[in-house]
Structure 1
Amino acid sequence: MKIRKQDALNYHTQGQPGKIEVVPTKMLSTQLDLALAYSPGVAEPCKEIAANKDDVYKYTSKGNLVAVISNGTAVLGLGNIGPEASKPVMEGKAVLFKKYAGIDSFDIEIDEEDPDAFIKIVKALEPTFGGVNLEDIKAPECFKIETELREKMHIPIMHDDQHGTAIISSAALLNALEIVGKKIDEIVLVVNGAGAAAVSCSRLYLALGLKRENLIMCDSKGVINATRTNLDATKAEFITTRKLNTLQEAMKGCDVFVGLSVADAITPEDVLNMAKDPIVFALANPNPEIDYNLAKKTRTDLIMGTGRSDHPNQVNNVLGFPYIFRGALDVRATEINEAMKLAAVHALADLAKESVPDIVFQAYGIDRIQFGREYLIPKPLDPRLITTVSPAVAKAAMDSGIARNPITDWGQYHQDLLKRVGIDQKLTSRIIERAKQNPKQIVFAEADHPKILKAAQILQDEKI
């Protein structure tokens, strides 16, 4: 879908600027309502929480509130643009939390690049939030920040740029390997890029069974091998003993390529040099490491995924973070651990193998989707994601002993999850789906009016 600059600017300025607002959850129509919401009635829950801190989850919104926190040092595709310029992205992330998982979210942009100072600021926010989503923080500082915050805080924390991509690409990898009949402990996998996402992807692939000697990581200077000097501790973790120096050498005979780097990093020749039934996840945005159509033309036996929505197998973090935090919040997990991430991986991989409901076909304007080379992972608009991934994550938290509020009635929990996304959302979606299902010829009058022209353009773009 083509995005026009002016459309994007208008979207953010029309009506009330920005994308989020605060809406009260209680009635405020009478004097009694006001007295209960604030002074003097508010003193009663305050006293209860003072006596038992856990009651903050009972009397406030903390249990359904996530902070999206960034310093704007590594905004995807834009680089270090600063905290103010990152705010539209963080607001967007907050909107996705609400849309897909019913989680309330505040974006917090911090004007601080020193990791120790940043950690201190975020740690001080723990009384307010039920979870923290770290976003767009540059490497290597992001590793220190997340690690120390997880050690010091007792609420779910996740740097989505690292773990979101790792979880979604891992689900796609497991299913791609199943389709081509290969085992993860037998393949050779090349990762191009050594930033936050690349490191987390590599660690999760290893946790899934990839052998360390079969993992080759490259950065802008080539293969990370034993001859390299001045490597930081994170890169040193992935030194290979193979006698390889360049990305092109590493590509020869490898089974899987995962790109988390820059556009056009590999060529058709590199793809031709890969093993039979190669798997290429070219995840650089907005332009992948190799053009999708060029790669598919080069190898007919290729399975490919990108970060783009206009090609099959989009590795999109929205498949993960809303539902991972939903499950973590609902059991009041003290962290998001490896077991919970792996549970999300397997839940996503398994869901892709199930029969796809008609509502997904209608949402994407297609006649048929089924598990295969062009459908490795679920579509972002699949309504089953919240009732599949969130329970898997919640159960993993319970099984690993970090859930402070275990779920006892899973049937009721399923219904609660459906309510989280809202009945009004279902009604709106149903109306749009019906319109797409049975298109009508529409005549617009006043074709010289900008709003009428815009309406016609939207209907055409949305295929309504």
Structure 2
Amino acid sequence: MYQEPVFELHRGGKMAITATVPLTTRDDLSLAYTPGVAEVCRAIAADESLVNTFTWVANTVAVVTDGSAVLGLGNIGPRAAMPVMEGKAVLFKQFGGVDSVPVCLDTQDIDEIVATVTALAPSFGGINLEDISAPRCFEIERRLDEALPIPVFHDDQHGTAIVVLAALRNAAELLDRKLGDLRVVISGAGAAGVAVTKILIAGGVQAANVIVCDSRGIIHSGREGLAGAKLELASITNGTGRTGAIAEALRGADVFIGLSGGSIAEEGLAGMAPGAIIFALANPTPEVEPAVAARYASVVATGRSDYPNQINNVLAFPGVFRGALDAGATRITEGMKLAAADAIAAVVANDLRPDAIVPAALDPRVAPAVATAVAKAAVRDGVIRQA
């Protein structure tokens, strides 16, 4: 049982702790541990900022989940989430040179999560929130961002948003379109949908030209029962006040971005403007089959690795944290996210094709480019830790 290759790869886990100093002699031991380590402890006790110099804290991120929204699997709990968090950790190391520790919490209470992560925070240089369901994720990130002097980043929101903006920038460039002229429909008003909407607007898409849909159809200011993030979306998007189902939203749209996991009927796609852009990002089953999307779109992207133009968060989060940690940033700003998107787009800007609007997930150029751009943006935005 459990002999398939995927289980064999995971047997015993995908990561381990490795020493970076020699431990072969008594002198090695006396320096790495007692009695020598006491001198370093005293120095840090006198000046806590030295923890960033004399420990691994400044290069280490906690990958935190409560197991409530894992991939497309849903609320499977903290233990079942661990393989994903280990995967995230090895991607951090492989692409960003960032050490990270999976932290799977056996609670889904907002107050308990915030209190626990706050208590753990002195051990880390950053917090990557992962696979926490909406709308709880918004409150958890906001409270931790306010409470902690280190970067806090919910990857399901902002990693997705950064890569989507990069892809849309390049798709628009390829088709000789301007972001400000595009009419965009976003299917999904959860963590990713909200973040994508906000970053597209910050990146140049006109808010009035964006329509967001959820399972009940178009979000608009006259719809009853809206609260929280959806109420905010209703106040800033859908300038024409459209109502109804997603097919109405798609009528005349230039861009469809699927972040919901629902399916879109081909009749709805037929109502889009000629030369459309379709990002069907649900995994493993896109909202629109790529072959169908290609009948109505000039550029098609998915979240899958077996189709061109994979919108993969690995293009964003290793470089974002690498840059934030290198700069000594205390938080991750909107300017840093926009800089990351620009850097991802720039990697392939000179070789754009309909099937290559973003770099490949394993492209080694991406993380260093993102890190450099993010670090510069952190300095520009004035969020650098004071010496």
Given the alignment of the two structures, is residue 350 of structure 1 paired with residue 349 of structure 2, yes or no?
no
Given the alignment of the two structures, is residue 118 of structure 1 paired with residue 113 of structure 2, yes or no?
yes
> Normalising by structure 2, what TM-score?
0.96
1:64-111 deviations in Å (ceiling 9; x for gaps): 111100000000110000001100100110010011111111101001
The answer for the alignment partner of 1:212 in structure 2 is 207
The answer for the alignment partner of 1:393 in structure 2 is 374
Alignment of 1:282-361 (within 5 A): 282-296=280-294, 298-299=295-296, 301-354=297-350
Q: CA, structure 1 residues 323+75, in 2 after alignment: closer, same or farther (shift >3 Å)?
A: same
The answer for the alignment partner of 2:385 in structure 1 is 404
Q: Is the 8 A contact 2:63 2:102 kept in 1?
A: yes
The answer for the alignment partner of 2:257 in structure 1 is 258
| Distance (Å, rounded) in 2 between the aligned partners of 1:309 and 1:243 | 35
| Distance (Å, rounded) in 1 between the aligned partners of 2:133 and 2:207 | 26
- Three-state SS of the structure 1 residue aligned to 2:306 is coil
Given the alignment of the two structures, is residue 167 of structure 1 paired with residue 148 of structure 2, yes or no?
no
Match of 2:133 among 133, 138, 160: 138
| Distance (Å, rounded) in 1 between the aligned partners of 2:143 and 2:204 | 27
Shift in Å at residue 405 of structure 1? 7.2
Alignment of 1:239-250 (within 5 A): 239=234, 240=238, 241-250=240-249
| Distance (Å, rounded) in 2 between the aligned partners of 1:90 and 1:129 | 16
Q: Which runs of 4 or more aligned residues in structure 1 lie more than 6 Å from their structure 2 counterparts after TM superposition?
A: none
| Distance (Å, rounded) in 2 between the aligned partners of 1:35 and 1:331 | 33
1:107-129 deviations in Å (ceiling 9; x for gaps): 01001111011101001112100
Alignment of 1:70-89 (within 5 A): 70-89=65-84
Match of 1:227 among 222, 229, 241: 222
Given the alignment of the two structures, is residue 52 of structure 1 paired with residue 44 of structure 2, yes or no?
no
Q: Is the 8 A contact 1:262 1:289 kept in 2?
A: yes
Given the alignment of the two structures, is residue 371 of structure 1 paired with residue 369 of structure 2, yes or no?
no
| Distance (Å, rounded) in 1 between the aligned partners of 2:353 and 2:377 | 28
- Three-state SS of the structure 1 residue aligned to 2:273 is coil
- Three-state SS of the structure 1 residue aligned to 2:368 is helix
Between structure 1 and structure 2, the one with the greater Rg is 1
Match of 1:63 among 58, 73, 83: 58
Q: Structure 1, unaligned stretches of length 5 or more?
A: 355-369, 407-464
1:251-287 deviations in Å (ceiling 9; x for gaps): 1100100000124x21222222111210000001101
| Distance (Å, rounded) in 2 between the aligned partners of 1:353 and 1:213 | 28
What letter matches 2:242 in structure 1? K
Match of 1:26 among 18, 21, 27: 21
Shift in Å at residue 302 of structure 1? 2.2
Q: Is the 8 A contact 1:225 1:245 kept in 2?
A: no
Q: Structure 2, unaligned stretches of length 5 or more?
A: none
- Three-state SS of the structure 1 residue aligned to 2:180 is coil
How many residues align? The count is 382
Alignment of 1:271-286 (within 5 A): 271-286=269-284
What letter matches 1:401 in structure 2? G
Shift in Å at residue 227 of structure 1? 3.2
> Normalising by structure 1, what TM-score?
0.80
Shift in Å at residue 379 of structure 1? 1.0
